[in-house]
Amino acid sequence: MEGRASGGPERLQKILSRAGIASRRGAEAMIQAGRVTVDGQVVTELGTKVDPAEARIAVDGKAIEGPERQVYFLLNKPKGYLSTARDDRGRKTVLDLFSEVRERIYPVGRLDYDTEGLLLLTNDGALMNGLLHPRYEVEKTYVAKVQGPVDEGRLEQMRKGLALEDGMTAPAKVKLLGREGHDTHRVEVRIHEGRNRQVRRMFAAIGCEVLALRRVRFAFLDLHDVRTGAYRALTKEEIQRLYAIAGGQQNERNGR
């Protein structure tokens, strides 16, 4: 990382996040997994401070060369793709859909393998952290095709919060959209939490099975004119709006 003016030592996970390698939490996981080296030596201790202007930092053997151009994409994820940067079992990931993008991008949160719809990807660690932080309660909207006894009483349980194995859910906004067949319904669910397979588990808790699930909105963003498997770049205005709802870190960091 030669040629950069030294700002002094910084926490290693912060350097990786700023360089677009991963979110701060993702960078911490990389360090703990032994994937990060400093001057050829593996570093696994969180909080290690390094001067990015002097040290040679690498992830999986590939040197990082300072901050990449920050990019922001909205993907209409198909079923059958993992929302991860890589998979040790060789399964398809959402990054396989971005073969023309040179920057190292990462999903903002996850959609299940069998879930389709709106997924953001970026190399802006500050924005990623803000959008995923529970403090900001960024709302996600799903449409589920559900089989089972859907009625207002059961939907009201979801609106009040359900007891799952990992604790009570926050109240959801739930609306019955229509019936498809004898015991199959379409239901809109809006939540701001991001637990693993949360929507599916919420319906299971009221005795229903999710047959298909699609995320149709993330905050104010929707899938308008983005076909399944395709993506588009976010506009400057959309990025600014996302920062406004996620703590405004970019304004502080870049002086905008």
The catalytic residue positions are: 112
Distance of CA 1 to the CA centre of its chain: 28
DSSP 61-96: TEEP-SPPPP-EEEEEEPTT-BSSS--TT---BGGG
State the number of CA atoms in the 13 A half-sphere of 85 facing the CB. Answer: 15
Q: Give buried/exposed letters for 58-81 (b at 16+ CB in 10 A, else e).
A: bbeeeebeeebebbbbbbbbbeeb
- What is the maximum span of the chain, computed from C-alpha positions, in angstroms? 68
